[in-house]
């Protein structure tokens, strides 16, 4: 009998681990068990971080994942066949632009006398996590620099909990203006007609907002030629779009978590999360939400019928009190670029918008692509039916997804052809 105990314990532990790891996923996801393992790891990290926060040891944001320095790709990144990694010849240097830390990637020497492309990149991480040094961001930017002969400037903007909106946006805008200056472009031999701005997730939010501001600022002589947005977060009015509801339980970005990140970014009380989840913060009686403003994020009009399905817009008649005081940046286009007027969008550079079917932010990207097109901007919308939020970052060993590598390849190809 004693000999059976190890077997019984092993079986029980295996069952417990399997129960913890397993979550139902959409059939379109091609590597479900790999994603389940990633999600379990992230979930465990968040639980432990929240426990440390509750015990008063450290803020949960600072406890999630390894520190940026430990993820630096300087000799540490291993890459798959199509992944990133240390690219021989790419020169990496840490500088400041307008006082903002920036990591610059310069392509291998060669072609003296020829101007190069330029790209400003804003990493993701929900305005709280991530870093310009993070392995996935570092690997991506090395690839862009090497393959496209591009000088990449990856911005280390300030993040929550130290700051909230509009500080990350202002950091990115200041760095962008400096990057576009005649002096900096000349220093790095960048063609002023071939400069892009790009970002993923919350970085896509920042890239879209910065692109809008630069496009209408007459004081900036050099404008961005293109914008490349990777599953961007673009509005906080409606957390009941079809994609928010369809993908609310799909890793790695769950619906309640995205609401939490928006509350953090806008400096609002986290206890408002239940109210925001049912759109009480954007009720029909909200004094500042005019019909025109609401129409700018009306997915019932902006989404193709295929993606509306049988969903109905949720507009609460009377919501929470004092919405402007709860989150004063809620309707600020610098925080929610989707709410910008058509006259602003019409001046924006041509765009690349990457969306994933299994992502709560899918419809944000769809709606922005449609609004840009309606304003006369040329838009390429690359949609991945097997994609999920975060897949663009999963290109570095030991976590590589085929859809992530395909998405990065599509992004590189578009930049090659359009920048």
Cα 145 to Cα 142: distance, rounded to the nearest angstrom:
5
- Read off φ and ψ for residue 181, nearest 5 degrees: -70, 155
Contact residues for 26 (Cβ-Cβ < 8 A; gap 6+): 247, 250, 357, 358
Could you tell me the CA-to-CA distances from 151 to 83, 106, 173, 192, 193 in Å, in that order?
A: 19, 5, 18, 12, 14
Q: 3-state SS of the chain: helix, strand, coil percent to 5? A: 45, 15, 40
For 281, the token pair is 């913060």
Q: How many CA atoms lie within 13 A of 86 on its CB side?
A: 9
Please, is 271 exposed, middle or buried when counting C-beta atoms within 10 Å of its C-beta (0-12, 13-18, 19+)?
exposed
Residues taking part in catalysis: 201, 359, 389
Cα 403 to Cα 165: distance, rounded to the nearest angstrom:
32
- Read off φ and ψ for residue 187, nearest 5 degrees: -60, -40
- Largest interatomic CA distance in the chain: 83
- Chain-centre distance for alpha carbon 379: 18
């Amino acid at each position: 009998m004693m000999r059976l105990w190890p077997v019984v314990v092993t079986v029980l532990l295996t069952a417990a681990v399997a129960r913890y790891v397993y979550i139902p996923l959409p059939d379109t996801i091609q590597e479900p068990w790999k994603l389940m393992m990633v999600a379990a790891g992230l979930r465990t990290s968040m639980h432990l971080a929240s426990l440390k926060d509750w015990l008063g040891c450290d803020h949960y944001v600072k406890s999630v994942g390894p520190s940026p320095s430990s993820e630096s790709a300087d000799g540490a990144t291993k890459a798959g066949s199509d992944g990133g990694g240390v690219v021989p010849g790419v020169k990496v240097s840490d500088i400041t632009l307008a006082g903002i830390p920036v990591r610059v990637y310069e392509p291998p020497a060669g072609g003296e006398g020829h101007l190069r492309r330029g790209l400003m990149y804003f990493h993701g991480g929900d305005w709280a996590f991530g870093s310009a040094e993070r392995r996935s961001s570092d690997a991506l930017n090395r690839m862009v620099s090497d393959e496209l002969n591009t000088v990449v400037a990856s911005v280390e903007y300030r993040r929550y909990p130290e700051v909230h909106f509009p500080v990350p946006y202002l950091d990115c805008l200041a760095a962008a203006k400096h990057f576009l200056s005649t002096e900096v472009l000349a220093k790095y031999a960048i063609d002023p007609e071939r400069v892009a701005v790009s970002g993923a997730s919350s970085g896509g939010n920042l890239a879209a907002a910065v692109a809008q501001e630069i496009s209408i600022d007459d004081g900036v002589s050099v404008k961005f030629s293109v914008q490349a947005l990777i599953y961007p977060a673009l509005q906080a009015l409606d957390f009941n779009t079809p994609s928010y509801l369809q993908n609310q339980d799909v890793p790695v970005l769950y619906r309640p978590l995205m609401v939490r990140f928006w509350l953090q970014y806008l400096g609002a009380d986290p206890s408002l999360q239940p109210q925001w989840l049912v759109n009480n913060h954007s009720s029909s009686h909200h004094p500042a939400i005019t019909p025109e403003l609401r129409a700018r994020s009306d997915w019932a009009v902006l989404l193709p019928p295929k993606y509306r399905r049988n969903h109905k817009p949720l507009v609460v008649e009377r919501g929470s009190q004092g919405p402007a005081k709860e989150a004063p940046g809620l309707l600020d286009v610098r925080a929610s670029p989707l709410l910008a007027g058509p006259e602003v969008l019409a001046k924006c550079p041509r765009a690349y918008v990457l969306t994933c079917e299994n992502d709560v932010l899918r419809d944000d990207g769809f709606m922005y692509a449609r609004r840009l097109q309606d304003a006369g901007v040329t838009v390429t919308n690359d949609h991945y039916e097997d994609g999920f939020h975060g897949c663009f970052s999963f290109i570095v060993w030991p976590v590589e997804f085929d859809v992530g590598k395909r998405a990065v390849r599509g992004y590189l190809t578009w930049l090659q052809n359009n920048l």
